[in-house]
Structure 1
């Protein structure tokens, strides 16, 4: 038996004998109930917060999270990972394997080991079924309501819409203490999380580094106070405990063969810092970095991205060209260079650049999308439709392709497809009324029975959400 697993077995036995582990069969939700609760929790978050939709960022967080989750034995759920567009320092797990991390927390990190440490800790909370065990006694108020309360607690009510704040403030008053993690939960998640973090090839020093950064903000104003600290108690104790683990003989080899992809992490962090629409702060930040070190590809790529994001594609081109010449950012910079030429109206140049982007494991979505856009502008409609459909097949959540495919279908008189794809687009953007209009039209027009079932399910989900929203605002 590997030494990490021996250590985990000993720690779990000790926790059980100390009364930290409770038999799930006696107190936890059933797996089916937890799946339902997780879906309700996710819908709550999805309809109130924006996820980062950058294809590379989505694929990166999903691939890293699933690689970490795969080390845990006998998974009960399929894990899903998301980045929330929010500057507060926060990360949390929902029932049934939904794991979220905020952009603000990623921007505070300096290595993939820090991110891996945070994700593994949240996976451990799901693996130990901490929330489901606490919720069992509260089922009488309904899983959908509980999901909203739990989401409000872990996200912080500051991000909720007014009606949600009322619900969170009143209903959570009697539930927050019961649903929040205890110090015992945190210790168990650290015991198990650190063990499997090491087995995945990462040192827990990264987790300690990001916890120190989160802790350093605890004296800030309420607006800047990390939500993570209010839902994950005992940070000082956790730091001492993890340090003790890492200095023990059992963990002497932890992280010696690092599995980290620091080049990919550097791209992600740069994107999180640069992709702030309408915010000149990112331009100033990266301009200063380029002036300090003109040869730094990360700084120059960030400046190119920030300029592109702030509608200055012509200015972005010079920086992206330098990065695209030769650097770890090469395929990303080349794709963004093609985008920049597209936005200046140089469609043939854009198409030429985008078609020579080297294929990667998970960075083809934007390349295909802007290739399709350029092809459409050049009158190559069949090529553009083929590419849009390829994107949606591979990336059902990539909203720009859904919108463009719906638009092109409408222009060509295919109203069935037009309303269908636009309905999905607006549903994913949480624009319920517009989504209902398009999906009802698509339901009238389609002859495809499988598509009818898909539309009817989406309509039912939207109506259920609107009903719950009206109820919570009473």
Structure 2
């Protein structure tokens, strides 16, 4: 699932309004220096604006995969203050970027350029390094004091690029700010060096990082000499490739073996099906199967395309063909269960998801759909247990907030019900509704509940913005 994108006109005018009038939450005060807490606030604010106005992928498999990969790389870092979260944007342009506070975004167009997990890991490692080294935060620190609204707008204009960027910068404080938000050669070299080290520690071949950047560099020629957006904020690619190759030669004797790319292949096909044309995907899968008729992944991709084209029986037939080729294929069996769910065949979906959960008890995708089915069947305790595990395993998957709020309400836990409904309203930018739920949560939560302090912070933040409950 991809969130339905708003038009560029809507995005531009919303952000211009934000920049000029400061309607973004937590506007109070200017940022004269960027502490860790302010970085966290800026990152959250950027995410909330992006989530409400830009198509972020909400598919549980896509979210789970990108976050598991990101956290595998994050685990190689020394102690750091942020909880990293990773998101896929439905955008065909070649772009990836990091925002202070631990937020990393990757465009679907960039993912579709890659052939294996190591390449994706190489780009993520580079972006994680920008946050760890506080490159963007230090650039913001050196600028004159501005409001968080201006910072959010500046970051959006520079990092998102595209048609909205120029409009965002005209006649606003963001223009001067944005001019400073380009990574220097030193920033890029440090991010390459750190990313190279953490990529290798995580068990990946650092040659994959070089391969990913080489592929990106080639895109400038395919686009008539216009560089991809990523290269406009990450300059000096040719020089960096030479330096990375030199570093690689120094570590040639300790390069790891190539990584297993099976899950990446299915992940990339899922991204392609969600963000691209199903007709083009179907054509590619059909042609690929001619050359590799025994590759079940092509039948998986074919099924995704057919399902998006609203041919559910043909989609299920393709999945069944895939299972004949590979009876134990976990990804095809899981997609079959999802297709049953989407067609309201809950009992068949439930039976298959339960068997999958025995094989992979920590698969957030399976747990999420189990929770949805239990919720449909009014088995609220089981549904709540499944959704709590999803939220614990992948905090970046904010789609689960509404489910949790509803389920806690059904179980009579009103404090937590209002807390999660408040978070859902906050991510949807329904700020008066969010304040209503947070105030209700404060009344119903015991003082010693770990959520109590978070609720108070959210209320203070919204009241500081002068949000009124309708």
Aligned to 1:365: 364
After alignment, is 404-413 or 272-281 more displaced?
404-413
**2 CA distance for matches of 1:277 and 1:39?**
28
**2 CA distance for matches of 1:204 and 1:49?**
32
Q: 1:447 to 1:358 in 2, by over 3 A?
A: closer
| CA-CA distance at 1:214 after TM superposition | 1.2
Q: Deviations over 1:71-119 (max 9, x none)?
A: 3334354433222222111112222332222111111011122112112
Aligned to 1:218: 220
Aligned to 2:432: 436
Q: Deviations over 1:350-383 (max 9, x none)?
A: 2222221144667633323433444555565654
Aligned to 1:8: none
Residue 447 of structure 1: which of 444, 456, 470 is its match? Answer: 444
Correspondence list, 1:73-92, <5 A: 73-92=78-97
Q: Deviations over 1:26-84 (max 9, x none)?
A: x9844344334333333343333233232233232222222223333343544332222
Aligned to 2:255: 255
After alignment, is 116-125 or 393-402 more displaced?
393-402
Correspondence list, 1:35-434, <5 A: 35-156=40-161, 158=163, 165-167=167-169, 170-219=172-221, 225-247=227-249, 250-258=250-258, 260-276=259-275, 279-324=278-323, 327=326, 330-359=329-358, 364-375=363-374, 380=379, 383-384=382-383, 386-392=385-391, 394-395=393-394, 398=397, 401-404=400-403, 421-428=420-427, 430=428, 432-433=429-430
**TM-score under structure 1 length normalisation:** 0.77
**2 CA distance for matches of 1:226 and 1:168?**
22
Structure with higher RCO (Cα < 8 A, 6+ apart): 2
Q: Deviations over 1:215-258 (max 9, x none)?
A: 122245599851111001111111222222223xx212242345
**1 CA distance for matches of 2:438 and 2:230?**
43
After alignment, is 99-108 or 150-159 more displaced?
150-159
> Number of matched residues?
432
**2 CA distance for matches of 1:404 and 1:156?**
34
- Aligned-CA RMSD value: 3.8
Q: Do the aligned residues in 2 keep the contact of 1:78 with 1:97 (CA within 8 Å)?
A: yes
Q: 1:224 to 1:59 in 2, by over 3 A?
A: farther
**Structure 1 stretches lacking a partner, 5+ long:** 1-26, 468-474
**TM-score under structure 2 length normalisation:** 0.77
**Structure 2 stretches lacking a partner, 5+ long:** 1-31
**1 CA distance for matches of 2:365 and 2:415?**
26
| CA-CA distance at 1:452 after TM superposition | 6.9
| CA-CA distance at 1:453 after TM superposition | 5.9
Q: 1:395 to 1:168 in 2, by over 3 A?
A: farther
Q: Do the aligned residues in 2 keep the contact of 1:443 with 1:452 (CA within 8 Å)?
A: no
Aligned to 1:31: 36
